[in-house]
Chain A
Amino acid sequence: MKKALLPLLMTALFYSDSVFMIFFSEQAFDGAYMPVPRFFIIGLLFMSVFFDRNTAIKYGFFFGFLFDMFYTGLLGAYFFFLPLIVYITSMLTKWLHGTLPVFLVIVLFDIALLELVMYGLNVLVQRTTFSFEQFTYMRLLATFVLNALFYILFAIPLRGAFLKLKKVFD
């Protein structure tokens, strides 16, 4: 029964992004900054490090697929890059064996990577007119701040949750 908590936790994280968008007023800062919630991805990275990498890759595929279909309509983008980012993180954590502050740097690196890839993809399919400067100033910095805040607030509970779940599955 306790095994069902894992998909439940990930589903909650999946919807948390859009719930944040409901509460967050888009006209905050006069629309000058566009922080993008990446809470699900942070959760996925915690899962890959503190739970199990291969399960995290599977979850990345599945929820990436849902994300593409339900939110963006551009099939394949998150479906492909979420598992890739989990894989890259698992490589990085092998070299940088980490405490939570080190992991924060890795998480922010991953988010920056994902944002860059998505920006590149959207320029490629001509769905955006953002210049690179606009992208870095308006989106990337604000996204860093928002997700770092989320990390600081939820890093310890998330780590605890995944370590406990690992015990349940073992």
Chain B
Amino acid sequence: MPHFLTNKRLIILLGSIILLVAMIGFSMRDRENITWPEKFIKDVTGFGQNIVSKPAGAVESFFDDVSRLRHTYEENEKLRTHLEELAQLESDVARLEKDNAELRKVLEKEDSLADYEPVQATVIARNPDRWYELITIDQGESNGIEPDMAVMTASGLVGKVQSTSKFTSTVQLLSAHDSNNRVSALVQGDKTVYGLIEGYDEEKQMLQLTKIPSDAKVKKGQAVTTSGLGGVFPKGLVIGKVSELVPDEFGLTQTALVKPAASFYDLEHVMVSKRKMTKVLPEEEDRQQVVVEEEGM
């Protein structure tokens, strides 16, 4: 091949390989949020995506509705039985909530890890190359969304915000393979057991709850929720139910396979939870005071 690699082409090729490696290295860095040119491009592309996918989404949900129409009767029966329980449950919740608020006042502990404000968002795109479990939603910084916020559907936690721009944000699903993707979780039972949601079993389609102490007794069917101890997610978001328990390779801890409550597929509407209590450290002013006091000692 005499003309295939002339000098000029070779230089261009080598130059672009260097550029490629540099760019990949730049984007793989552990960074808090994307840079402003990326944000700008995301907003522009997201604007077009909005125009394209909103009507497409509407058409899709229309077909969904039509197919759901066939099961209306069965669903109605089922819902009616639930409705009777619901009235009782509702009054219980109201009573307990009031109790909780009063007791909190007594304890002078008004903030709770469980408090959050939900922000409604619509999924406008799912990564078409399907290597990373990423979705794009139509709410961004202008609505107060920040990286690392929890994203959920009505049935449970689905992922966390990875990066934000002004009007869109990218959400990484729990099923994504990323070693930084860990969620502090707890198993509800007589005795609360803590663990970490880490990794996803593609074949069984289950989440892995690792680092459970080896002597902890976890039973099949127990509910798994977020613990709020990771510092970003609110407490008490439903993750799923324990379906299997396996000892890990060294026998020091156990791993539970958790059947996710929310489906990671066919997401349409999601909620982003803004946790109210996010500060781990005391407020800036309080902190200074602490330092002053220490100096005085």
Contacts and interface: CB of A to CB of B under 8 A. Distances in A.
B46 A70 contact: yes
Interface string A110-141: 00000000100110011111000000000100
A157 interface: no
B152 to A, nearest CB: 18
B41 A66 contact: yes
Interface string A57-76: 00000000111111111111
Contact of A76 (B20, B45, B60, B266): B20
B231 to A, nearest CB: 23
A36 B177 contact: no
Interface in B101-148: 125-132, 134, 136
Most buried by B among A21, A23, A37: A21
A77 interface: yes
B179 interface: yes
A125 B28 contact: yes
Interface stretch (A12-20, A44-52, A96-104, A158-166): A12-20
A55 interface: no
A4 interface: no
B24 interface: yes
Given A18-B128, A22-B57, A36-B129, A80 B45 contact: no
Contacts of A68: 27
Contact of B125 (A27, A71, A122, A126): A71
Contacts of A17: 128
Contact of A22 (B21, B56, B130, B178): B56
Interface stretch (B47-55, B183-191, B208-216, B243-251): B47-55
B127 to A, nearest CB: 5
Contact of B177 (A25, A31, A34, A128): A128
Given A127-B132, A127-B177, A129-B177, A70 B41 contact: yes
Interface string B150-188: 000000000000110000001000000111000000000
A144 interface: no
Interface of B: 4, 16-17, 19-24, 26-28, 34, 38, 41-42, 45-46, 48-49, 52-53, 56-57, 60, 125-132, 134, 136, 162-163, 170, 177-179, 202, 205, 263, 265-266
24 contacts: A15-B52, A18-B49, A18-B125, A18-B128, A19-B53, A20-B128, A22-B56, A25-B265, A26-B265, A27-B265, A31-B265, A37-B128, A66-B41, A67-B129, A70-B45, A70-B136, A71-B127, A72-B127, A75-B24, A76-B20, A76-B27, A80-B19, A122-B131, A129-B177
Please give me the 5 A-B residue pairs with the lowest Cβ-Cβ distance, nearest first: A76-B23, A17-B128, A75-B27, A26-B265, A70-B45
Given A70-B136, A126-B179, 8 more contacts: A15-B48, A19-B56, A22-B57, A25-B265, A37-B128, A69-B45, A80-B16, A128-B131
